[in-house]
């Protein structure tokens, strides 16, 4: 991991300006006997080089599905039904399985919330790291072994040589997540997709893992999409924040801008609902968002947040505003929050 | 009730709980000792009426074991629990039934703590029926009253849990616990599984209930921000012990134990910057092999010689604020000054 991105890739022949990943109008649908729902609805964003995009939202808002759809990993019966996923000038949606396989785990890696279920319990940690190195990077057995030791050392696992023989159940949750990260960064990916990587971990271990990821990003210039329900985690690790609600991307912008001056009532509600540790002892009641998140199979008319929104007006029942692309710095789907339209 | 005015509602003294794992036949023949997991090792705390005590710590620190020992879902190995002056641990079957009626547990996961085959009405009225607090006629009044208390529409009474959202289920679980008119509620990670917007609704509900009904509450959570919001006093647990306790603002703003400070620094907030280096290195040691001396010494930055040999005694650093640390560093805005003497 010492040298920066020097991996030769056939895809690397694009102009330096264009973002690594550009997603436009990505729509993911799930259909079953009971009906049809859209888990992600015309989601657009882009990730430049050396950049971290944080995606926040509550359970069922479509943040994980969006992330998985990038690599064609939407679970059955889900399907990407519209949109484009431009990765360095090529649309990942049009690639064959084989071509996608070449990018997956090599140029784009992914880590998940639960490292226990992502590691194979019957293979040693060493087998699982070297498998990756031998398959994707075609290393020899010996070379892969040496590299695996280096990688475990890099992710902060003490006495890495001995640990290679361990099986996942012999490691703690934090150590397993480190192994997952070692596998993910083995091929020096340009983009890491992290789906709630620290949600199952204790706060001090979460802190260690996030510091490790930040170090690796600094060394390699790797970009990251960090999906989390924890606004604090995203605030401290992302350059840009996207907020999702009921399958829609409702607000997007520079992390500081969005989290300190939200322009969508949902983002504002979310921020107000979080208990603040620095307000200890003040005992003010929290300001929750009223009501429940909507059922995706039966979304309300117009803006999906309209039934819970304190700024609602008659236009919200009919039209859903587009995310303002005129303001790349900070866009929101809600034009009414500043009190202008209301 | 024979409790005096000044006496606390609940008093836990020196509670210890060990779990033993099985040896293989070979190991027992060889006379190897049975491995002993120390889950709780001398935990003491008091809870007053109208008070919420927060319990924080990492997984494996003994928070839930404490809760379960207090109501004797686990039999503690040592120590005593006094509820309104009554000894919980030596109580007979009839007595413990009465005591459990007045101390109710609420669990983390409302998906597994409610019976999927019972309607909301049956789930809420079942405990009261078992304890013969209501007859058939009084049942629907009770259910309606409780649903109102937890802000659920009366129409949910005939639904089954699968028709309810996570937040609604947790409200049902709370209504069920309240049905016995308890004096103490022990909420074990009761808001941890919920989304932020729903979590805020639940925290407000817990707050209202405690004020409105004069309940004492032990609130267990791993999220510091939740504890900061809801509790008046807090106890920080580490590896089966309380390492620091006191009024919540005092402990959170002027921590005097390195572990508390690390927890606070590791907690990500919107306002703060991420630390360049992790607040705490290493992981919690195995409860089968508790370190000698101070049990935090494997991860502590401020260790001295005696930290490896002597168990630190509690030191009252300000009124009601105790820290179990030999060094007692003072932490303020990331700057550390060591106290002399």
Helix, strand or coil, per DSSP, at residue A211: helix
Structural domains of chain A, count: 1
Q: Is A25 inside any structural domain?
A: no
Across A18-37, average pLDDT: 88
Whether residue A13 has pLDDT greater than 80: no
Name the band, by pLDDT with cuts 50, 70 and 90, for residue B80.
very high
Name the band, by pLDDT with cuts 50, 70 and 90, for residue A298.
confident
The residue ranking higher by pLDDT, A334 or A4, is A334
Mutate to test the interface with B, among A292, A295, A309 (most CBs of B within 10 A): A292
Q: DSSP labels for A213-269? A: HHHHHHHH--EEEEEES-HHHHHHH-SEEEEEETTEEEEEEEHHHHHHS--SHHHHH
pLDDT at position A337: 75
Tell me, what CATH number does B236's domain have? Answer: 3.40.50.300
Q: Is A304 inside any structural domain?
A: no
By DSSP bridging, strand A223-228 and strand A240-245 are: unpaired
pLDDT at position A325: 60
Whether residue B292 has pLDDT greater than 90: yes
Whether residue B22 has pLDDT greater than 90: no
Residue B62 contacts residue B39 (beta carbons within 8 Å):
yes
Across B214-226, average pLDDT: 92
CA separation for the pair A284, B157 (Å, rounded): 32
Q: Is B73 inside any structural domain?
A: yes
pLDDT at position A134: 92
Q: How far is B93 from chain A (nearest CA, A)?
A: 38
Q: Name the nearest CA neighbour of B226 among B210, B208, B207.
A: B207
Nearest to B266 among A175, A206, A237 (CB): A206
B-chain CB neighbours of A203 within 8 Å are: 58, 222-224, 263, 266-267
Across B204-208, average pLDDT: 90
pLDDT at position B338: 38
By DSSP bridging, strand B103-106 and strand B184-188 are: parallel
Q: How far is A146 from chain B (nearest CA, A)?
A: 25
Chain A (209-228) residues lying within 8 Å, Cβ to Cβ, of chain B: 210-211, 214
Q: Is the CB of residue A256 less than 8 Å away from at least one CB of chain B?
A: no
Write the pLDDT tens digit of every residue in B149-184: 888 888 899 999 998 888 889 999 999 999 999 999
Q: What percent of chain B has pLDDT over 70?
A: 95
CA separation for the pair A303, A316 (Å, rounded): 6
By DSSP bridging, strand B52-56 and strand A330-332 are: unpaired
Q: How far is A243 from chain B (nearest CA, A)?
A: 14
Structural domains of chain B, count: 1
Chain A (90-149) residues lying within 8 Å, Cβ to Cβ, of chain B: none
A-chain CB neighbours of B253 within 8 Å are: 280-281
CA separation for the pair A158, A179 (Å, rounded): 12
Residue A52 contacts residue A20 (beta carbons within 8 Å):
no
Query: Which sign, positive or negative, has the C-alpha torsion B264, B38, B246, B192?
Result: positive
Residue range of the domain that includes B304: 10-337
Whether residue B208 has pLDDT greater than 60: yes
Write the pLDDT tens digit of every residue in A48-101: 999 999 999 988 899 999 999 999 999 888 999 999 999 988 999 999 999 999
Distances in whole angstroms, Cα of residue B70 to Cα of each of A248, A264, B76, B176: 46, 46, 8, 19
CA separation for the pair B190, B272 (Å, rounded): 27
pTM: 0.88
Q: Quick one: closest CA in B to A259, which residue?
A: B270
Q: Is A179 inside any structural domain?
A: yes
Residue range of the domain that includes A163: 114-186
Q: Quick one: closest CA in A to B203, which residue?
A: A286
pLDDT at position B6: 66
Mutate to test the interface with B, among A243, A264, A275 (most CBs of B within 10 A): A275
pLDDT at position A116: 83
Q: Is B161 inside any structural domain?
A: yes
User: Phi and psi of B37, rounded to 5°?
Assistant: -95, 120
Q: Is the CB of residue A24 less than 8 Å away from at least one CB of chain B?
A: no
What interhelical angle do A125-137 and A141-154 show, nearest 10? Answer: 120
Distances in whole angstroms, Cα of residue B85 to Cα of each of B4, B95, B235, B255: 8, 13, 22, 32
User: Phi and psi of A57, rounded to 5°?
Assistant: 165, 170
Query: Other C-beta atoms within 10 Å of A107: how many?
Result: 20
The token duo for B285 is 């040691």
Write the pLDDT tens digit of every residue in A231-289: 999 999 999 999 999 999 999 999 999 999 999 999 999 999 999 888 887 878 899 99
3-state SS string for chain B: CCCCCCCCCEEEEEEEEEEECCCCHHHHHCCCCCCEEEEEEEEEEEECCCCEEEEECCCCCCHHHHHHHHCCCCCCCEEEEEECCEECCCCCHHHHHHHHHHEEEECCCCCCCCCCCCCHHHHHHHHHHHCCCCCHHHHHHHHHHHHHHCCCCHHHHHCCHHHCCHHHHHHHHHHHHHCCCCCEEEEECCCCCCCHHHHHHHHHHHHHHHHHHCCEEEEECCCHHHHHHHCCEEEEEECCEEEEEEEHHHHHHCCCCHHHHHHHHHCCCCCCCCCCCCCCCCCCCCCCCCCCCCCCCCCCCCCCHHHHCCCCCCEEEECCEEECCCCCCEEECCEEECCCC
Q: What is the mean pLDDT of chain B?
A: 89
ipTM: 0.86
Write the pLDDT tens digit of every residue in A205-245: 999 999 999 999 999 999 999 999 999 999 999 999 999 99
Residue A184 contacts residue A129 (beta carbons within 8 Å):
no
Write the pLDDT tens digit of every residue in B3-21: 445 689 999 999 999 998 8
Q: What is the mean pLDDT of chain A?
A: 87
Q: Is B4 inside any structural domain?
A: no
The token duo for B101 is 């009626």
pLDDT at position A323: 74
Residue B2 contacts residue B85 (beta carbons within 8 Å):
yes
Q: Is B284 inside any structural domain?
A: yes
CA separation for the pair A335, A323 (Å, rounded): 10
pLDDT at position B4: 45
Q: How far is A198 from chain B (nearest CA, A)?
A: 12
Nearest to A214 among B274, B279, B283 (CB): B274
pLDDT at position B237: 96
A-chain CB neighbours of B221 within 8 Å are: none
CA separation for the pair A87, A81 (Å, rounded): 18
CA separation for the pair B196, B199 (Å, rounded): 5
């Amino acid at each position: 991991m010492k040298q920066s991105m020097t991996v030769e890739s056939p895809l690397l022949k694009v102009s330096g300006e264009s973002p690594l990943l550009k997603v436009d109008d990505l729509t993911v649908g799930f259909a079953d006997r009971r009906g049809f729902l859209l888990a992600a609805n015309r989601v657009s964003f882009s990730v430049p080089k050396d950049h971290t995009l944080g995606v926040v939202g509550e359970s069922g808002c479509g943040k994980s599905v969006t992330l998985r759809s990038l690599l064609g990993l939407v679970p059955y019966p889900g399907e990407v039904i519209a949109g484009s996923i431009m990765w360095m000038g090529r649309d990942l949606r049009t690639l064959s399985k084989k071509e996608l396989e070449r990018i997956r785990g090599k140029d784009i890696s992914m880590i998940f919330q639960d490292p226990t279920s992502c590691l194979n319990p019957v293979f040693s940690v060493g087998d699982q790291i070297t498998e990756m190195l031998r398959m994707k990077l075609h290393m020899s057995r010996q070379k892969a072994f040496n590299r695996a030791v280096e990688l475990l050392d890099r992710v902060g696992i003490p006495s890495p040589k001995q640990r290679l023989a361990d099986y996942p159940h012999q490691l703690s949750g934090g150590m397993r997540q480190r192994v997952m990260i070692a596998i993910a960064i083995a091929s020096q990916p340009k983009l890491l997709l992290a789906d709630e990587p620290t949600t199952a971990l204790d706060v001090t271990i979460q802190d260690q893992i996030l510091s490790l990821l930040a170090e690796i990003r600094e060394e390699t210039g790797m970009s990251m999409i960090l999906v989390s329900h924890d606004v604090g985690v995203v605030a401290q690790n992302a350059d840009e924040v996207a907020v999702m609600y009921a399958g829609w991307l409702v607000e997007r912008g520079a992390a500081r801008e969005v989290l300190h001056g939200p322009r969508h009532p949902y983002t504002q509600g979310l921020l107000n609902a979080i208990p603040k540790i620095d307000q200890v002892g003040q005992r003010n009641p929290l300001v929750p968002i009223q009501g429940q998140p909507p059922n995706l199979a039966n979304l309300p008319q117009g803006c999906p947040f309209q039934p819970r929104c304190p700024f609602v007006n008659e236009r919200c029942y009919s039209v859903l505003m587009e995310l303002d692309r005129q303001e790349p710095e900070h866009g929101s789907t809600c034009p009414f929050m500043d009190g202008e339209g209301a | 009730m024979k409790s005096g005015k000044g006496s606390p509602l609940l008093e836990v003294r020196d509670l210890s709980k060990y779990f033993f794992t099985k040896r293989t036949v070979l190991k027992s023949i060889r006379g190897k000792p049975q491995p002993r997991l120390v889950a709780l090792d001398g935990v003491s705390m008091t809870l007053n009426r109208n008070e919420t005590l927060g319990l924080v710590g990492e997984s494996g620190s003994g928070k839930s074991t404490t809760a379960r020992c207090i109501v004797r879902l686990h039999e503690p190995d040592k120590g005593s629990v006094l509820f309104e002056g009554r000894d919980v641990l030596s109580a007979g079957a009839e007595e413990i039934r009465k005591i459990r009626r007045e101390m109710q547990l609420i669990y983390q996961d409302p998906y597994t703590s409610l019976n999927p085959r019972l309607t909301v009405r049956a789930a809420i009225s079942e405990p009261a029926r078992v304890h013969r607090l209501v007859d058939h006629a009084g049942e629907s009044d009770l259910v309606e009253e409780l649903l109102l208390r937890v802000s659920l529409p009366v129409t949910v009474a005939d639904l089954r849990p699968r028709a309810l959202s996570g937040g609604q289920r947790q409200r049902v679980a709370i209504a069920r616990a309240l049905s016995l008119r308890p004096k103490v509620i022990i909420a074990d990670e009761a808001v941890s599984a919920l989304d932020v917007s729903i979590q805020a609704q639940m925290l407000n509900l817990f707050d209202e209930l405690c004020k409105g009904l004069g309940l004492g509450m032990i609130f267990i959570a791993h999220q510091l921000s939740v504890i900061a919001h809801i509790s008046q006093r807090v106890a920080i647990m580490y590896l089966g012990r309380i390492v620091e306790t006191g009024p919540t603002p005092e402990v959170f703003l002027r921590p005097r134990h390195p572990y508390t400070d690390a927890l606070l620094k590791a907690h990500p907030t919107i306002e703060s910057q991420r630390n360049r280096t992790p607040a705490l290195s290493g992981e919690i040691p195995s409860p089968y092999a508790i370190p000698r001396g101070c049990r935090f010494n494997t991860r502590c930055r401020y260790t001295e010689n005696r930290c490896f040999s002597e168990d630190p005694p509690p030191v009252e650093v300000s009124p009601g604020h105790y820290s179990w640390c030999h060094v007692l560093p003072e932490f303020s805005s990331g700057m550390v000054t060591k106290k002399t003497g």
